[in-house]
Amino acid sequence: MNATSFPAYRPRRLRQLPVLRRMVAETQLGAHQLVLPYFARPGKKQRRAISAMPGVFQLSVDELLKDATAAHAAGVPAVLIFGIPDTKDEKATGAYASNGIVQQAVRALKKELPGLLVITDVCLCEYMSHGHCGLVHRAAGKVLNDPTLKLLARTAVSHAEAGADVIAPSDMMDGRVRAIRTALDAAGFQDAPILAYAAKYASAFYGPFREAAESAPQFGDRRSYQMNPANAEEALREVALDIAEGADMVMVKPALAYLDILHRVKATFGYPTAAYAVSAEYSMIKAAAAKGWIDERAMTLESLLGMRRAGADIIITYSAKEVCDWLKG
């Protein structure tokens, strides 16, 4: 197809009026597609600012309830809960404790805001004293895959028991979706959906998150289990494996630097697909806006629209509440 095939076509005719531009827009961004992440911590009246993420806080459950209530009233339909425990150890016991911080947050949210969709991140890094996403063989400096699966499955079941609506494993251990699906089914949670962090890259864009979640590895890095940013075909294999193991939805993380992956995942599998606009994506826009270099609202909405255009059905973003307000304007 080329311009000479339609000699009378003048594209600008459809761009003259705002109402017409909206009417013929090919891609829509709506509040119903957004998920707002939260960092829950123990205590009361705790609101600890995260220096690298302006406007984002570690919140005790009472403060989290206040923020989530306001966000839900603004139009945010779903939240994603991360936990920061009081103590950490080499078995991540806080991750699957019945009264762990995520479990407390979930119970409180489901009691006070039953219409809010609560998604829980299932990983062990925040709860491990060494900061890795699994059990570690210290002498070999190696993260152990199969023994870690049991702890991940136990964590997922404890989240479901607390009332979580969606379980989202982010650890990138091989076989984790199957282990979690099997454990959920055995515990009577056959209807609990799994949103798998299926294509999660070992990215420099996670920097601010390390402060927010207090989860930086104490040695080495996560390249032995998170994906190489150079690889695209591998992402399709990872997604295919997670779907085969029982994932109901899949995720690409980060988002903006991986829009090609997002598009290929959606086009190849057609499954409900999430994009995670990660911490540095948020922080870079905030920092540039604070300098007066960019229009924060315009750039945020454009970047999220790009994720939608690439194929995202769900967008996890720290700007979710602001976006809901902007979309009303």
* pLDDT score recorded for residue 1: 59
Residue 225 has pLDDT above 80, yes or no: no
Confidence label for 229 from pLDDT (cuts 50, 70 and 90): very high
Residue 281 has pLDDT above 90, yes or no: yes
Mean pLDDT computed over 239-264: 97
Tell me if 79 sits within 8 A of 37, measured CB to CB: yes
Q: Which of 216, 212, 118 is nearest to 168 (CA)?
A: 118
**Contact partners, residue 311, CB within 8 Å, separation at least 6:** 262, 263, 265, 266, 267, 273
Residue 30 has pLDDT above 90, yes or no: yes
Confidence label for 32 from pLDDT (cuts 50, 70 and 90): very high
β-pairing, 195-200 with 166-169?
Answer: unpaired
Low-confidence winner among 5-9, 75-79, 88-92, 116-120 (lowest mean pLDDT): 5-9
* pLDDT score recorded for residue 2: 61
* pLDDT score recorded for residue 49: 94
* pLDDT score recorded for residue 3: 53
> pLDDT tens for residues 75-109?
999 999 999 999 988 899 999 999 999 999 999 99
Quote the CA–CA distance of 202 and 257 in Å, as a whole number.
12
CATH code for the structural domain at 27-328: 3.20.20.70
Query: Helix axis angle, 279-290 relative to 296-310, nearest 10°?
Result: 150
* pLDDT score recorded for residue 136: 78
Alpha-helix runs per DSSP H in the chain: 18-23, 61-74, 93-96, 101-112, 145-162, 176-186, 207-213, 233-245, 259-269, 279-290, 296-310, 320-328
Beta bridge partners of 75: none
* pLDDT score recorded for residue 172: 85
Distance (Å) of CA 176 to CA 112, 170, 198, 231, 292: 31, 9, 10, 21, 44
Mean pLDDT computed over 62-85: 97
* DSSP-assigned letter for residue 194: B
**Amino acid type, 204:** A
* pLDDT score recorded for residue 213: 64
Quote the CA–CA distance of 46 and 86 in Å, as a whole number.
13
Selecting among 88, 111, 253, 321, the annotated active-site residue is: 253
* pLDDT score recorded for residue 207: 84
Is 200 one of the catalytic residues? yes
Give residue limits of the domains in the chain: 27-328
Beta bridge partners of 194: 167
* pLDDT score recorded for residue 278: 96
Quote the CA–CA distance of 166 and 144 in Å, as a whole number.
26
Torsion of CA 132, 135, 140, 146, to 10 degrees: -120
* pLDDT score recorded for residue 325: 96
Confidence label for 217 from pLDDT (cuts 50, 70 and 90): low
Residue 135 has pLDDT above 90, yes or no: no
* pLDDT score recorded for residue 140: 63
Mean pLDDT computed over 212-223: 65
In the chain, % of residues over pLDDT 90: 77
Selecting among 45, 66, 142, 200, the annotated active-site residue is: 200
Mean pLDDT computed over 8-34: 89
Cis before 254? omega within 30: yes
Tell me if 277 sits within 8 A of 317, measured CB to CB: yes
> pLDDT tens for residues 299-324?
999 999 999 999 999 999 999 999 99
Is 253 one of the catalytic residues? yes
Which tokens belong to 52? 């690298």
Quote the CA–CA distance of 130 and 144 in Å, as a whole number.
13
Mean pLDDT (the chain) is 92
The predicted model scores a pTM of 0.93
* pLDDT score recorded for residue 118: 97
* pLDDT score recorded for residue 143: 83
Low-confidence winner among 197-201, 205-209, 247-251 (lowest mean pLDDT): 205-209
Quote the CA–CA distance of 299 and 315 in Å, as a whole number.
15
Quote the CA–CA distance of 311 and 269 in Å, as a whole number.
11
Quote the CA–CA distance of 112 and 259 in Å, as a whole number.
36
